[in-house]
Structure 1
Amino acid sequence: MITLYGIKNCDTVKKARKWLENNGVEYRFHDFREDGMESVPLQKWLDQFGWESVLNRRSTSWRALTDDQKEQMDNALALALGKETPTLIKRPVTESAGETRFGFKEKEFLELLAKGKN
């Protein structure tokens, strides 16, 4: 089963959800805002990939950070800020078959689906 994390009004999340639905893929959607951050495995993502891969440094939320926050960014600060401001997290985050992916690329979704069927 695929779990898709994100925010429902995010354009990239909308594209990913539409792609999954158009391809008949069952998934569970976890909205960072509506469903909360308590059960989001943000620490695991940071440990596995590092803040540089988890945070969206092109987002409005990133640009709103202070220069000090950006310069001092590490996994611990990313955890605190990500829980407080989930729009900092790259979206969508997809978990399936023991793999985690950030963003939406059709090729990667096809790879995840293939692994999930094995």
Structure 2
Amino acid sequence: MGIQIFGTKKCNDTKKAERFFKERGIKYQFVDMKEKGMSKGEFTSVAQVNGGIEKMINQDAKDKDTLALIKYIADDDKLEKLLENQHLIKTPVVRNGKQSTLGYQPDVWKNWDIPKK
């Protein structure tokens, strides 16, 4: 499948992640979370690898009202609410098959077995 970077065009960490892979000649697919976002399956697999739904939430997001709501609703409802409000997910989300990271994590990516272009 290769590398997938989920993020937004305005996110500096997403831009840095793209630069990381470009500089190493590693092909990747960029998914703009404002336009397309993550599917439920993608989200749950990333959440599983990264320690659960709570770890996926960007506590510094500007939408404080929705952040507060998510904090107090049931886990099943959190998943649906986050899928509706993907601007609350930490970015970039970088996937390499079953491996994934949240945020800018070049030290982790360096250790991934990734085929070059």
TM range (shorter): 0.7 to 0.9
1:51 to 29, 53, 71: 53
CA contact (8 A) 1:46 1:75 kept: no
Q: Which has the higher helix share?
A: 1
TM-score by structure 2 length?
Answer: 0.79
Total equivalences in the alignment: 113
Deviation track 1:37-93 (CA, whole Å, cap 9, x = no partner) reads: 4476113333443122111112213x23264x2442453233222221111111011
Alignment of 1:28-107 (within 5 A): 28-38=29-39, 41-48=42-49, 49-61=51-63, 63-65=64-66, 67=68, 69-107=69-107
Identity of aligned residues (%): 22
Structure-2 residue corresponding to 1:5:
6
CA contact (8 A) 2:6 2:33 kept: yes
Unaligned runs of 5+ in 2: none
| Aligned CA-pair RMSD | 2.2
Matched, 1:116 2:108: no
Q: SS where residue 110 of structure 2 aligns?
A: helix
Instruction: Summarize the Cα distance change of 1:97–1:44 in structure 2 as closer, same or farther, 3 Å threshold.
Output: closer
Unaligned runs of 5+ in 1: none
Counterpart Cα distance in 2 of 1:106 and 1:66: 27
CA contact (8 A) 2:7 2:31 kept: yes
Amino acid corresponding to residue 8 of structure 1 in structure 2: K
